[in-house]
Amino acid sequence: MGLKDAGQYEEEQLRYAAWLHWSTLLGFLTLIGTFVAYVFGILPARIPLERLPQVWNLPADEYLKVTGMPKGWAWVGMLGSGDLASFLGIAILSGCSIFCILAVMSVYARRRDWIYLVLCVLEIVILVSAASGLLSGRH
């Protein structure tokens, strides 16, 4: 098979890069902003910072049980708490790939590149399933 010009794939590559850049920037700014608000007490914490050394050595499930911290997406309704507000930045960073894949799907559709379009759909299904909590047995 002869090599084709790699430039034909430049559009999707540059679009993916642009979405990755802006979504990552948004994620980092949110992560740092909410964390500063958390540790400096601007947003009150559900678990007092002084109590953390007593619970950060527990397994995750026991930590949730002892502290009563929410599982899954319940934190979204409690963004006024500093320790839960920090999850917003983490969620944005974890969701960057979803935004980027969604952004390039139209390029594949226009080019009738069905294999990569299907690959995008499957990847989105996997990432959204992981994010939704379906794989943890919650709905």
- How big is the chain, counted in residues? 139
User: Min. distance of Cβ 132 from another protein in angstroms?
Assistant: 8
Euclidean distance between CA atoms 60 and 69, whole angstroms: 10
User: Min. distance of Cβ 99 from another protein in angstroms?
Assistant: 11
Lookup result for tokens 């007593």: 54
Of 106 and 136, CB closest to another protein: 136
Q: Are 34 and 85 in contact (CB under 8 A)?
A: yes
State the residues that interact with another protein by CB under 8 A: 1, 3-6, 9, 12-14, 16-18, 20-21, 24, 27-28, 31-32, 35, 38-39, 49-53, 56-61, 63-64, 69, 71-73, 83, 86-87, 89-91, 93-98, 104, 115-116, 119-120, 122-123, 126-127, 130-131, 133, 135-136, 138
